[in-house]
Amino acid sequence: MVKTLFLVRHGEALHNIEEQKAKKTASAKAEVQGMESGSEAWKAALEAARKACLKEERLRDAALSDGGKAQASLAKTELEELTSASPGLPVPARVLVSPLQRTLQTAGLIFPGRSVIQVCEDLRERETCLPCDTPSPPLDMMGCELFSHMDFSDPLATRAAEGPSGEDNSQLRRRIRRFFQEGIATIQENVLCLVTHKAFLRELERGILGYPEASEFGCGEVRVYDVALAADGTVVAVLRHSRACPWEQLAAEEPCPWSPQAGHTGCVPQSPPSPAVEKLGISFEGNMVFMEEARHLVRGISF
């Protein structure tokens, strides 16, 4: 099966501001102490300061800053422009969002009143056991007007009932792979939007999507991938849009083999495919990947 995924990182949250303040202060102190900027000791000092500030209870399930709300509005405009072009990218038929307040706010601002927003526990940030990464009780969030149209029933959740525990990057990657196999692969809709977090998106791109050199998402950033899921768990991903490689619509006179009439709702790739593409034997012609071949390879396959 082939799915188009819109990946969105939440807008700037209050704890992101505090992180930067703590690092700036720590950098100044390190300089006074004679540490060379960029040295291991300097990096360690900044990281220690960053983690210390995030332990503050006042940052529990941090909300968006005013700047973060503005970034969410810009992301909304970006998605509208991408999907309103002729031909444009397909409109997400379903939105999946992390249960943390900053992602819920971002999704609510991008998709106001949208009835197909599913709050999904597996999209949460890496488990750090820090207040800022601890979701508020669902009943509290359901009482917010901005989230009142969201579905908190979470049929995709596989989180243990005993609550959060620490999680390293390798464990996060395993969670992501399980989510793709047990969640994404079972969703009927083929065009999805995931509103989630920096660490989740980093390990998603550098791990299962096969882009090990991918840069980290900025706050409010949008990227789009076409993803083919194979029977053996192989994932073929082609980047369609990012800030570095924005999507470009074809000229009106050019053929559009990925249009709905041709059986595909993808778009023009702006970067080489992941290494897994060669494993599946998908052919290329210039900069066009014929995802229909991937569709044929994995058609009818379930995990």
Name the CATH topology of 2-14+62-298.
Rossmann fold (3.40.50)
- Rounded to 5 degrees, what are φ and ψ at 236? -105, 120
Q: How far is residue 63's CA from residue 100's CA, in Å, rounded to a whole number?
A: 9
Containing H/E element for 229?
strand 222-229
Span 51-106, pLDDT tens digits: 999 999 999 999 999 999 999 999 999 999 999 887 789 999 999 999 999 999 99
Residue 253: the pLDDT is 40
pTM of the model: 0.81
Q: Domains of the chain: which residue ranges?
A: 2-14+62-298, 16-58
The pLDDT confidence band at residue 114, using thresholds 50, 70 and 90, is confident
Sign of CA dihedral 10, 12, 14, 15: positive
Burial 21-38 (b: 16+ CB within 10 A, else e): ebbeebbeebeeeebeee
**pLDDT for 238-255, tens place per residue?**
999 999 989 875 434 444
Residue 166: is its pLDDT beyond 60? yes
Would you state the pLDDT for residue 301?
A: 31
